[in-house]
Amino acid sequence: MSSSKPYSSVFRADLFAGEVHWVTGGGSGIGRCVAHELAALGATVILTGRTEEKLQRVAGEIAQDGGRADIAAFDIRDEDAVRAAVQAMVATHGRIHGLVNNAGGQFPAPLMAIGKKGFETVLANNLTGGFLMMRELYLQSMQIHGGAIVNMTADMWNGMPGMGHSGAARAGMANLTKTAAVEWAASGVRVNAVAPGWIASSGMDTYKGPVREMIPQLKRHVPLRRLGTESEISAAICFLLSKGASFITGVTLAIDGGAPLDTPLFAIPDHQRSAPFDGFHRSVMPDVLKDA
């Protein structure tokens, strides 16, 4: 049974027809939204993550909406698992046209409270695992056929107090994006990144305590006076994967409502002049924002 309302993308319906696109962390949040939009635009989507049940659920949603999805549950931090998963998917689907390196995760903590294990785990989640996915898809598919990669970073331009481990990893991913864009250009591979700011996504519900209490107030520090939607991140990713971005590589695109530009030196009045775009027909408001 198909969903009564399809994904309302700003792009034409056949944009990725006949293509195969891989989304890591596709079982929830932004990754789930991106997978849905890619499928709505004609792509066969490969969903990967650590929890098979979540991947199965999203793949089922895509199938209900008339799209095509395959899944593989593994840990992107495991080099052998990444290599084997890429090999299996290339054998099944042939050329992989695009990779969305979305998987990641972190926990709030000041630098003085972060142990070596915690620091290295966050780097592995947000940088090393993404590198392994890039490298293996390049070696096993894109080196021969070309392709497009979009990596996930974050609003880390002014540091990330309270999440220094994540900021270090995200800054590393932005730099890795530039290096891969140069080294792989001769193979017809474009490599870009997106840097979301505060996005109303399910990941917000994972935070507890003072961080959770702060989330409803975040929009006051954004010039557009709102949080972003998953669809607004997905639209940017789909553009960077598309032929319309054929002359764009090595770029990190900020999608943050101007948050890094907010300053006490210029008071922006509260307003509702920025209308959000929410094309994702299955989006759900995070619990932490329902009463905001």
**Would you kindly state where each structural domain of the chain is located, as residue ranges?**
20-289
**Cα(8)–Cα(292) distance, integer angstroms:** 26
Specify the CATH number of the domain 20-289.
3.40.50.720
**Residue 190 to residue 242: CA distance in whole angstroms:** 10
Provide the pLDDT for residue 1. 37
> Alpha helix locations (H) across the chain?
29-40, 52-64, 79-93, 116-123, 129-137, 143-145, 164-183, 209-214, 230-241
Does 143 score more than 80 pLDDT? yes
Buried b (16+ CB within 10 A) or exposed e, 38-66: bbbbbbbbbbbbbeeebbeebbebbeebe
Residue 243 Cα to chain centre, angstroms: 19
pLDDT given at position 288: 86
pLDDT digits (tens, 9 = 90+) for 111-123: 999 999 999 999 9
State pTM to two decimals. 0.96
Q: Note the pLDDT of residue 183.
A: 98
Tens of pLDDT, residue by residue over 155-183, are 999 999 999 999 999 999 999 999 999 99
The mean pLDDT value for 178-198 works out to 97
Q: pLDDT tens for residues 26-67? A: 999 999 999 999 999 999 999 999 999 999 999 999 999 999
